[in-house]
């Protein structure tokens, strides 16, 4: 093979390999191969009704979700990705009104505002509210079921946030 052809093939291969973009797949989504860190700040509870443990439990659930589903390292600031926000709603409302105008069920709803920044692709950035709820019998006292409801709602919220940020649904 002559030298000119060898150099042409070498240059072509170099071009092909340098123009490829690598990514890590997560159930149909992608994380940029250059990404190594994600900054997650504490989500303060700014709702009118405040559960004193909600801020910590939600922030921990979000960190656990990302740490368990990605190879990213969680940092306090200046991450390749950034998630910050606040809890904006924590409400209890009656649902399933019976004929005597009493509620058979109550609903605990939690709303979280999230700002996501992708330092590699700003078209993926978002500022959005996520809301989830869980129902419980009105014969039960909220304080007796609240911890379990919060865990269930936090799981659903973190799934939604993770999917929006990393799976691009």
* pLDDT tens per residue, range 34-63: 999 999 999 999 999 889 999 999 999 999
How far is Cα 22 from Cα 59, in angstroms, rounded to an integer?
Answer: 30
Q: Is 66 helix (H, G, I), strand (E, B) or coil?
A: helix
pLDDT at 114: 98
User: Averaged over 18-29, what is the pLDDT?
Assistant: 44
Q: Could you give the C-alpha distances from 163 to 91, 118, 167, in angstroms and in order?
A: 24, 14, 5
Please report the pLDDT score of residue 86 as a whole number.
98
The domain limits of the chain are 22-164
The predicted pLDDT at position 31 comes to: 85
Structure tokens at 109: 């709803």
User: What pLDDT is recorded for position 107?
Assistant: 94
> Measured between alpha carbons, how far is 83 from 168 in angstroms, rounded to an integer?
15
pLDDT at 100 (0 to 100)? 64
Say if domain 22-164 classifies as CATH 2.50.20.10: no
> Which pLDDT does position 11 carry in this prediction?
59
Q: CA torsion sign, 40 to 154 to 128 to 120?
A: positive
Q: pTM for the complete prediction?
A: 0.79
Q: What confidence tens digit (pLDDT) does each residue in 71-85 have? A: 999 999 999 999 999
- How many helices (H) and strands (E) the chain has is answered by 3, 7
**Which of 157, 151, 61 lies closest to 114, judged by CA?**
157
| Per-residue pLDDT tens digits for 90-148 | 999 988 666 666 668 899 999 999 999 999 999 999 999 999 999 999 889 898 999 99
Q: Indicate whether 26 pLDDT > 60.
A: no
pLDDT(149) > 70: yes
pLDDT band with cut points at 50, 70 and 90 for residue 5:
low
């Amino acid at each position: 093979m002559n030298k000119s052809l060898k150099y042409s093939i070498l240059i072509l291969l170099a071009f092909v390999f340098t123009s490829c973009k690598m990514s890590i797949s997560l159930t149909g989504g992608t994380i940029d191969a250059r990404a190594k860190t994600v900054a997650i700040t504490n989500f303060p509870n700014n709702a009118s009704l405040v559960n004193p443990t909600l801020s910590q439990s939600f922030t921990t659930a979000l960190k656990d979700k990302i740490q368990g589903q990605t190879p990213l390292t969680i940092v306090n600031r200046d991450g390749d990705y950034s998630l910050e926000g606040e809890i904006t709603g924590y409400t209890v409302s009656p649902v399933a009104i019976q004929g005597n105008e009493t509620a058979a069920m109550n609903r605990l709803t939690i709303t979280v505002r999230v700002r996501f920044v992708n330092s590699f692709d700003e078209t993926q950035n978002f500022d959005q509210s996520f809301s989830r709820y869980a129902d419980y019998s009105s014969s039960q006292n909220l304080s007796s079921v609240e911890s379990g409801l919060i865990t269930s709602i936090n799981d659903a919220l973190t799934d939604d946030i993770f999917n929006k940020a990393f799976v691009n649904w």
